[in-house]
Structure 1
């Protein structure tokens, strides 16, 4: 059974700048310690990544997987970037989204939703903890990267 988690953070940067960091998938290994490698496989006509392959080492969850992306973003960077799992070895689900909204005064609220499931037997408690670590560290590291 898939486990889901949600975390929220406010970043002291406009949505457009936050979105630029989120959309720069190939730079993820520079600021997400669990992310070891990212390769963009396809992009849409506007240069947004459509499909990418990731190599993740998040303790209990280690895998190389491919995600498809959807970008429902307005010109100011507000909106939703979501992804769904295409293929993986260990992961059965790795679907999620970043939702960016205006927090006022040039700040952006980011809500990170993630659904994770694995093909190998794993205690639900360990799976939930791994999902929570991924979301919390992703938001904390996103905030650091955007505010640097």
Structure 2
């Protein structure tokens, strides 16, 4: 799973505002089209989600999976939010991250994602699916934050 997809976008809001939207998992079904349901399973003492269950319906891929989160961010919201797959039905592996950096008056968000599925899939198709997921997520995040 060494291959991954990466893309960036600049959002017209402070890093802390962007981080708050990323951390508000229960609201994902309101703005992330493929996410149908989200349940926070565990939080650390600071209120950051440690484990989150997602129900995804992305056309060809439908799955319910649990991600483990790591929050390496500072008070202003800059830093890295990363995750890895704990359990799933269709997914075999998933690692990803959002890197938030102040840029001008806004935030540059870089999204990295690597996914592997249990069903056989050509690498080129897998990377294309990752690119669609990453680009869609960044556009939807930008729209939600700037609304």
Q: 1:33 to 1:2 in 2, by over 3 A?
A: farther
Say how many residue pairs are matched: 147
Moved over 6 A (4+): none
Other-structure match for 1:10 = 10
| 1:50 partnered with 2:37 | no
What's 1:144 paired with?
143
* Structure 2 gaps, min length 5: none
> RMSD across aligned C-alpha pairs, in angstroms?
1.1
Cα separation, 2, equivalents of 1:123 and 1:58? 18
Aligned-pair distance for 1:47? 0.4
Listed as ranges, the matches of 1:85-96 within 5 Å are 85-96=85-96
Distance, in Å, in 2 between the alignment partners of 1:79 and 1:73 is: 4
- Tell me the TM-score normalised to structure 1 length: 0.95
Q: What's the counterpart of residue 120 of structure 2?
A: 121
Q: CA deviation at 1:59?
A: 2.5
- Taking structure 2 as the reference length, the TM-score comes to 0.96
Structure 2 partner of 1:81: 81
SS at match of 2:4: strand
Give the Cα–Cα distance (whole angstroms) in 2 for the partners of residues 8 and 58 of structure 1: 21
**Equivalent residue number for residue 35 of structure 1:** 35
CA–CA distance in structure 2, aligned partners of residues 96 and 145 of structure 1: 20
Segments of 5+ residues of structure 1 without an aligned counterpart are none
Say if 1:48 and 1:71, in contact at 8 Å, map to a contact too.
yes
